[in-house]
Amino acid sequence: MGKEIKSANTDQKAASGMSWGRKHSLAAGLFYLLTFVSIPTLSLYLPVHTPNYIAGPGPDTAALWGAVLELIVGLAGIGTAVALFPVVKRQDESMALGFVTTRTLEAAGTFASVACILSIVTLRQAGVGADGLIMGQALGAMYDKLFLVSQSLMPALNGLLLGTLMYRSRLVPRILPILGLIGAVLLLAGDGAVLFGLIDRVSSLALIGALPIALWEFSLGVWLTVKGFNPSPLTAEPA
């Protein structure tokens, strides 16, 4: 009977054509790559950040598309954590749970920042005119602060947690988590400089500080999508 069950399980795996670990790595990789769809929002939101946007003429299509892209990024970020958690929790469950938590907080902050953009668009479409300038500027400033916390600080914490898990588990080449850990430290330093007004959020120094963590997430997404996890007991299918 035991041999028959084992044979049936083997046949089922062969029919599926993909191991348990490979399914999780592929899902995580695709979700990581999907998080990069928000890159155009840097230009799409430029009109929204002008002082008189809420009272000016013109379409709101760019701002609405930017909001949609950011919502996709928030959901994809949660997807990366959900896909990786069953695997990385075998290395360190507490740290893996922390990674899920920071990813969820990142998404929550992203949704809140999108609400600021949609509120600006709503007030503009309602025709509040010059009376809404102060409110529009306040919402724009709130978006910037929420972005700093959700899409800059949280990715740094994600990099520290997941980078440590990947470095210890050797699920991917160690150069990738090393890049993530270095990028996390640089991003934390840049966030501190932005918070205390030493540099601007969209300055060259801030962008350079964010580049390594972006390269880490993109490289990890490509590796997990194309190669998957390195052979490891952590990727064995649960009983």
CA distance linking residue 191 with residue 49, whole number of Å: 20
CA distance linking residue 224 with residue 22, whole number of Å: 8
Our measurement of the distance from residue 174's CA atom to the centroid of its chain's CA atoms, rounded to an integer in Å, reads 21
The full set of domain ranges for the chain reads 20-232
User: 61 Cβ partners below 8 Å, 6+ apart?
Assistant: none
Are 218 and 29 spatial neighbours (Cβ–Cβ below 8 Å)?
Answer: no
DSSP code of 75?
A: H
Sequential pLDDT tens for the chain (239 residues): 444 444 444 444 443 578 999 999 999 999 999 999 999 998 999 999 888 899 888 889 999 999 999 999 999 999 999 999 999 999 999 999 999 999 999 999 999 999 999 999 999 998 888 888 899 999 999 999 999 999 999 999 999 999 999 999 999 999 999 999 999 999 999 999 998 988 888 788 888 999 999 999 999 999 999 999 999 999 998 87
Q: Which amino acid, 5? A: I
Are 113 and 147 spatial neighbours (Cβ–Cβ below 8 Å)?
Answer: yes
Q: How many CB atoms lie within 10 A of CB 43?
A: 10
Rg (the chain; Cα; Å) = 21
In 3D space, the residue among 72, 79, 81 whose CA is nearest the CA of residue 38 turns out to be 72
Quote the pLDDT of residue 11.
Answer: 43
Quote the pLDDT of residue 215.
Answer: 97
Q: Which amino acid, 32? A: Y
Quote the pLDDT of residue 124.
Answer: 92
Quote the pLDDT of residue 14.
Answer: 40
* pTM, full prediction: 0.89
CA distance linking residue 29 with residue 221, whole number of Å: 4
